């Protein structure tokens, strides 16, 4: 039986592809997501997004993300998984549009460069030390949940936002990138698994970028 969670898959009935094609597919799917986000920032005025009812926006955001994640994690068809990936990319793009509109384009470009460098480093570490990242994944999950709860409490109850939460989430998502990349290279190398792995990495990288931008914006 094929596991529904992409990173739990140990066998496949699909054709196995070469390492080069597998990594090329992951990179291409990631670049597609980033391109869509970039075009959304260029073509969708941030005022149109802000004008949407907050409740409607967040319900639509989470519904699209959860549906997309369900599609790419439950399907072994690369086309269906790619469609699910786009259901995640689009709502993330709306958030990115709102965030980057608050900063100078030069700073945004610098944040992209830093994110790319950090991502590359964590992929190398994920390749070299996959067992280490597997051991700390439980700690990463618990830490992320705690930091997000603290952040929400600070924002909606105390009315403050502290810089340390951004730093903490940067560290956590660095760990997630190392983990997801390490696992991506341990599962069967199929087109569907490449798309699914790219989707997981996309969410890690976008969250990392947003936090790095906030940190750099304060400086």
Q: What average pLDDT does the segment 37-50 reach?
A: 96
Residue 156: per-residue pLDDT? 84
> What would the pLDDT profile of 51-81 be if each residue is shown by its tens digit?
999 999 999 999 999 999 999 998 889 999 9
For the chain, give every domain's residue range.
15-218
Contacts of 147 (CB under 8 A, 6+ apart): 165, 168, 169, 172
Residue 2: per-residue pLDDT? 37
Are the C-beta atoms of residues 26 and 199 closer than 8 Å to each other?
no
Structure confidence at residue 210 as a pLDDT band (50, 70, 90)? very high
Distance in angstroms (rounded) separating the CA atoms of residues 209 and 51: 25
> What would the pLDDT profile of 161-202 be if each residue is shown by its tens digit?
888 999 999 999 999 999 999 999 999 999 999 999 999 999
Calculate what percentage of the chain has a pLDDT beyond 90. 84
CA angle 204, 117, 115 (to 5 degrees): 45
Residue 211's nearest CA partner among 175, 170, 171 is 170
**Residue 13 reports pLDDT greater than 80:** no
Q: What is the pTM of this model?
A: 0.92
Structure confidence at residue 131 as a pLDDT band (50, 70, 90)? very high
Contacts of 75 (CB under 8 A, 6+ apart): 81, 84, 192
What is the three-class DSSP state of 195?
helix
């Amino acid at each position: 039986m094929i596991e529904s969670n992409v990173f739990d898959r140990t066998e496949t009935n699909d054709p196995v592809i070469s390492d080069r094609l597998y990594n090329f597919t992951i990179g291409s799917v990631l670049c597609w997501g980033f391109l869509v986000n970039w075009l959304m920032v260029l073509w969708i005025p941030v005022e149109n997004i802000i004008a949407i009812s907050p409740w409607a926006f967040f319900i639509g955001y989470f519904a699209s993300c959860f549906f997309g994640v369900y599609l790419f994690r439950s399907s072994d068809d690369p086309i269906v998984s790619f469609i699910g990936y786009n259901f995640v990319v689009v709502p993330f793009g709306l958030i990115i549009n709102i965030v980057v509109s608050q900063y100078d384009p030069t700073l945004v470009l610098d944040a992209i460069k830093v994110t790319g460098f950090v991502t590359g480093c964590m992929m190398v570490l994920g390749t070299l030390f996959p067992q280490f990242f597997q051991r700390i994944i439980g700690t990463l999950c618990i830490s992320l949940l705690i930091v997000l709860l603290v952040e929400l409490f600070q924002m909606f109850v105390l009315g403050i936002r502290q810089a340390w939460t951004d730093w903490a989430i940067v560290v956590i998502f660095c760990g997630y990138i190392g983990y997801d990349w390490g696992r991506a290279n341990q599962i069967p190398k199929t087109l569907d698994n490449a798309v699914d792995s790219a989707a997981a990495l996309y969410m890690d990288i976008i969250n990392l970028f947003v936090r790095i931008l906030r940190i750099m914006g304060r400086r």
